[in-house]
Amino acid sequence: DVPMILVSACLLGLNTKYNGESNLHALIQKYSTLGRFIPVCPEQLGGLPTPREPVEIIKGTGRDVLRGASLIQGESGEMVTGQFIKGANEVLKITELFKVTAAILKERSPSCGVNHIYDGSFGHVIIPGQGVTAALLQEHNIPLYSEENLTEEKLLELLSC
């Protein structure tokens, strides 16, 4: 069994981001041809379109959403909590199909944020907390890494597991 690493699809250059663009991360891309990364976009897997409107977790974190204590809302007021929970569960299924040993996820996303998310005010206010998919993966003991402080040394260590 070869250990696999889940990666937010936008970090690998897929145009899955809400505005139809990517968050291409040169260091992660450098090792993509090893075939050890599984790109996932929980928001697309949850059934949301691309492009889509920006959304934030309202008054809480991904963990609060999973326990039914917080909602996810678009700038327009549309509620998308169900799609976010569905997407997180689809990603969890992927971890069960492969031997996933870690996840490298996009910081501050309401799905993928590992250490920080936005506060729900749509005022660019950052708070400590995780996105919904990150929280669900952590509950299932998948080690999480943010792309923001990922060093080449750490990435090589994850690949050598």
56 part of the interface to ligand SF4, by CB under 6 A = no
Phi/psi-derived region of residue 43, left when phi > 0, alpha when psi is between -120 and 50, beta in every other case = alpha
Q: How deeply is 128 buried, as exposed, middle or buried, from its count of CB atoms within 10 A (0-12, 13-18, 19+)? A: exposed
10 part of the interface to ligand SF4, by CB under 6 A = yes
CB of 119 to ligand SF4, least distance (A): 17
112 part of the interface to ligand SF4, by CB under 6 A = yes
CB atoms within 10 A of CB 141: 7
CB atoms within 10 A of CB 125: 11
CA distances from 149 to 36, 145, 146 (A): 20, 8, 6
81 part of the interface to ligand SF4, by CB under 6 A = no
Determine the size of the site formed for ligand SF4 (CB under 6 A). Answer: 12
Q: How far apart are CA 126 and CA 31, in angstroms?
A: 30
Q: 6, 12, 17, 25: which one contacts ligand SF4 (CB under 6 A)? A: 17
62 part of the interface to ligand SF4, by CB under 6 A = no
Examine residue 143 and say whether the peptide bond preceding it is cis (omega within 30 degrees of 0). Answer: no
Q: Which of residues 26-55 bind ligand SF4 (CB under 6 A)?
A: 41-43
63 part of the interface to ligand SF4, by CB under 6 A = no
Q: 63, 86, 106, 116: which one contacts ligand SF4 (CB under 6 A)? A: 106
CB of 96 to ligand SF4, least distance (A): 19
Q: How far apart are CA 161 and CA 92, in angstroms?
A: 20
Span near ligand SF4 by CB under 6 A; candidates 9-17, 68-76, 94-102, 143-151: 9-17
Binding site for ligand SF4 (CB under 6 A): 8-10, 16-17, 41-43, 106, 109, 111-112
